[in-house]
Amino acid sequence: MALNGAPLLEFKQVGKSFSDEKLREFRALEDVSISLNEGEFLAIIGPSGCGKSTLLRLAAGLDFPTSGEVIFAGKRVSSPSPERGLVFQAYNSFPWLRVRQNIVFGLHAHAVAQRQDEIKKWLEVTGLTEFADSYPKSLSGGMRHRMALAWSMSMNPQLLLLDEPFRALDERTRERMQELLLRTVAASSCSIIIVTHDVREAILLSDRVIQMSPRPGTVQNVFPSPLSKPRSREQMKTPEFIALHQEIVDQLRE
């Protein structure tokens, strides 16, 4: 829980450097400052290699800044936590476990017993109730992504981090997953950050779109959403959506 109205998550002048196999250093992020409030949905876009996925890893506690700091709920991020769930582009399930077992994997036995209603809720929200006893190999790509989302939300995170989760899906399945994510937002108070290359997806889903510069990545532009909630695909036909989409695309081309 954020303290005294402070942001839930803050990147404070964050920089991140890496070294390659020849020990040559390159700067992935430079002086990045972003804040995220409780219940807010943020989308991050930008060219490949600008540090978008690195920001998610820093927020998840899987990596650490070279400079600056990442603050979550008033404390510096120093390790992974169930409060911050991360869904990668490719979700690796456990093929020998059924869908329900995959979703509860990682919970202590007493937690599973106590949270049966929560698990049932996310099976229903993601449309997986009738597949709860199936094995992952029998699921389509979209259904496996739904399982990943159900797993993350059953952990009851305060912050959900999504790294291009729908990138490999066909257009219609991607649209269905976007609609599912909107329903997930409506069914929880979770804050969300999604990294995506799809500008239309970013505008439809988020409250703010953050545009990153080419490497070293830094915040180049911030676009507040003009769309009212609850969101729907019908809003993609509105003049406000079309105008913002064109503005962002023009900025990316520059």
CATH number of the domain bearing residue 184: 3.40.50.300
Q: Does 166 reside within a domain?
A: yes
Whether 108 is in a domain gets the answer no
Whole-model pTM: value is 0.87
Classify residue 146: in a domain, yes or no. no
Tell me, yes or no, whether 50 lies in a domain.
Answer: yes
pLDDT tens for 153-211 read 877 889 999 998 888 778 888 888 888 888 887 878 889 999 999 999 999 999 999 99
* Tokens 């698990």 found at: 119
Percentage of the chain exceeding pLDDT 90: 50
Say whether pLDDT at 33 is over 90. Answer: yes
User: What token pair was written down for 185?
Assistant: 């937002």
Show the domain range for 55. Answer: 9-83+157-253
Are 191 and 9 spatial neighbours (Cβ–Cβ below 8 Å)? Answer: yes
d(CA 192, CA 209): 12
Q: Is residue 38 part of a domain?
A: yes
Cα separation, 133 vs 124, whole angstroms: 14
Residue 114 confidence (pLDDT): 64
Cα–Cα dist 202/241, whole Å: 11
User: Does residue 117 carry a pLDDT above 80?
Assistant: no
- Does any domain span residue 224? yes
Structural domain tally of the chain? 1
In a domain, residue 186? The reply is yes
Contact 209, 202 (CB under 8 A): yes
